[in-house]
Structure 1
Amino acid sequence: MRNITPSVQKTVKLAAELRPSILRLSRHLRREALRGGSSSVDMQLLGTLREEPGLGVSELAEMEQMSRPAMSAHIKRLMQLGYVQRETSKGDVDRRRVGLSVTRTGTQYLRVVSERRADWLAERLSELGAEERTALDRATKSLRLILESAGEPV
């Protein structure tokens, strides 16, 4: 049997207590995207393309750790909704290369869902006392550090 220090035991206990709450909170925030008719994956892809316009389907699939056919299906759907468009790169030597970008409609949709999520969360935060909100503010900084150490964009 392994010798575990009290500090490690506390960390493991904190992780076990924190994980279900983070998962449930994430589930609630994803539901706000679903209310608008899109999945959380759609929102994630739109956000990535807004930040990095010009990515191709293969690049996006690799970034999101998704198969190319699955990514193609998502992009096709987003294009049918008018949220994403294909465009040839003006500065690219290979004119066959087609990149993806978010349309004005897609940008507006992202904004609406983002505001809906923020409103939902702000409403719940307003129910907390000042001390709890301060504790969450400190925790937010720690959660960002965890994401950064895992190589996740923040």
Structure 2
Amino acid sequence: MPADLPDDPDQLAELLRPALLRVARRLRQEASKAGLSALDVLLLVEIKRQPGVGVSDLADAEQMSRPAMSTHIKRLEAAGWISRLSHVSDGRRSGLTITPAGLAALAETRRRRNDWLAARLARLTPAERQALAEAAAPLLALVEVQP
């Protein structure tokens, strides 16, 4: 490791945290320009990934109360981004599915975020872009769920 880069996890955290927070904030701002909050994106992605998922399961996964999750789901439903499906064996339960409008909103959010990020990456040198490409896998490893 080059001498000017910290090897100590605490020092590295202090170095990376401000940059990661600022980048994340800007990406959230780009999503909001498409009309979605960070939570909206997270929920739409999860519903897309798990068609038929229930409100309770989403609440548990996001460590959120069921009433709070229900409020968010009702808002997404009112916006036309998700719809409810009747449960096959239990008519009292319903699952959630993403609608074509929800898919379009996600695609617009992804496009805005990618456009913003690509424009900033284009300003960097090839060596800086290479360093970021090499950092992508370790950064993802920071947030992967460990058993």
TM-score with structure 1 setting the length: 0.87
Structure 1 counterpart of 2:102: 106
Counterpart CA distance in 2 for 1:145 and 1:37 is 29
Q: CA deviation at 1:52?
A: 0.7
Bigger shift: residues 33-42 or 101-110: 33-42
Structure 1 counterpart of 2:8: 10
Q: CA deviation at 1:70?
A: 1.0
Q: CA deviation at 1:12?
A: 1.1
Of residues 35, 38, 59, the one that matches 1:37 is 35
Matched, 1:146 2:142: yes
Q: CA deviation at 1:33?
A: 1.4
**CA RMSD, Structure 1 to Structure 2 (Å):** 1.4
Structure 2 counterpart of 1:125: 121
Identical counterparts, % of pairs: 45
Structure 2 counterpart of 1:56: 54
Of residues 66, 70, 73, the one that matches 2:71 is 73
What residue identity is the alignment partner of 2:92? R
| Relative contact order, higher structure (CA 8 A, sep 6+) | 2
- Deviation per CA, 1:66-120: give whole Å up to 9, x if none: 1111111111111111001000133xx2232200010011001100111110110
Pairs aligned (count): 141
Matched, 1:135 2:131: yes
